[in-house]
Structure formats: structure tokens, C-alpha cells
Amino acid sequence: MMDVLYFAWLRERIGLPKERVETEAATVADLVEELKVREERYAMAFADTSSIRVALDQELADFSAPLAGVREVAFFPPMTGG
């Protein structure tokens, strides 16, 4: 089990900020594929992963990163701070 968080337009498209996900996904990319087949709103939100960033336990990571031991996965668009 892990917490999956969504921010900005990803949160709006999926319709929730956070959920508990039961998964055996080995990598972030595998998790995205699992989410995409769940429902159309996930497929729409994750249609273009080049415009999505991911953080594992609050550290930026790649989509190829392993999920073993990770408690919190966050998906969001490129950041616009400052």
C-alpha cells in the first residue's frame, strides 16, 4: 500500500488530491500503466507523461525509478514557483 498524491491540473483531472493504492508495480512507469487502465479520467490525466513530474517520498525521481519501500508517490506538472 502506498499513498498517491496529485497536484495542480493532475489533481483536477483525476478529481482527488490523494488516495491509498494497493499495487505490486515495480516502477513508477508500471504504476502509471496500472492507473491508466482503471478509468478514463486516469488515462486522460496520464496521456502525456512528458508533461508530468514524479516525486518518491518527496524527492524528485524518474519514471523508471523502483517503488520498493516507497510510501508516498506524487504526480504533478512542471513546477512554477518563484
Partner 1 sequence: MLRVQSDPFDPGSELSAFAQGRTDIGAVVSFTGVVRNTDGALEAMEIEHYPGMTERAIGRIMDEAHNRWNLSDVLVIHRHGPLKPGEVIMMVATASAHRAAAFAAADFLMDYLKSRAPFWKKETRSHGENWVAAKDEDEAALDRWT
Q: Which residues bind partner 1 (CB under 8 A)?
A: 5, 7-9, 11, 55, 58-60, 74, 76-82
Q: Nearer to partner 1 by C-beta: 26 or 79?
A: 79
Q: Nearer to partner 1 by C-beta: 5 or 21?
A: 5
**Contact in structure between 31 and 56 (CB atoms under 8 Å):** no
**Contact in structure between 44 and 50 (CB atoms under 8 Å):** no
We find the least distance from the C-beta atom of residue 7 to partner 1, in angstroms, to be: 6
CA distance 20 to 72: 9
Q: Nearer to partner 1 by C-beta: 9 or 62?
A: 9
CA distance 38 to 16: 15
